[in-house]
C-alpha cells in the first residue's frame, strides 16, 4: 500500500546497478537456451 504519492525527485537519477543488469542478461540467455534445448528435444514450449 502506497502511503504517499511518489515524487519526481524519488526517481530522478536512480539507476539500476550494473550487476543487476548483468544478471538480467544472463537469465535471459539461460531462458533462451532452455527453450532452444526443449525445442530440439521435441518438447512443446507453448
pLDDT digits (tens, 9 = 90+) for 5-26: 888 888 888 889 999 999 999 9
CA 39, 43, 45, 46 torsion: positive or negative?
A: positive
Non-local CB neighbours of 39 within 8 Å, separated by 6+ positions: 45
pTM (whole model) above 0.75: no
Higher pLDDT, 44 or 30: 30
- The answer on pLDDT for 45 being more than 70 is no
Q: What pLDDT shows up at residue 24?
A: 98
pLDDT value at position 22?
98
CA dihedral 38, 39, 43, 46 (to 10 degrees): 100
pLDDT tier at 41 (50, 70, 90 boundaries)? Answer: very high
Round to whole Å and give the CA distance between 46 and 39.
10
Q: Are 39 and 45 in contact (CB under 8 A)?
A: yes
Amino acid at each position: 500500500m502506497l502511503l504517499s504519492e511518489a515524487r519526481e525527485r524519488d526517481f530522478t537519477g536512480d539507476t539500476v546497478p550494473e550487476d543487476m543488469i548483468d544478471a538480467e542478461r544472463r537469465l535471459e540467455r539461460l531462458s533462451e537456451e532452455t527453450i532452444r534445448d526443449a525445442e530440439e528435444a521435441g518438447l512443446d514450449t507453448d
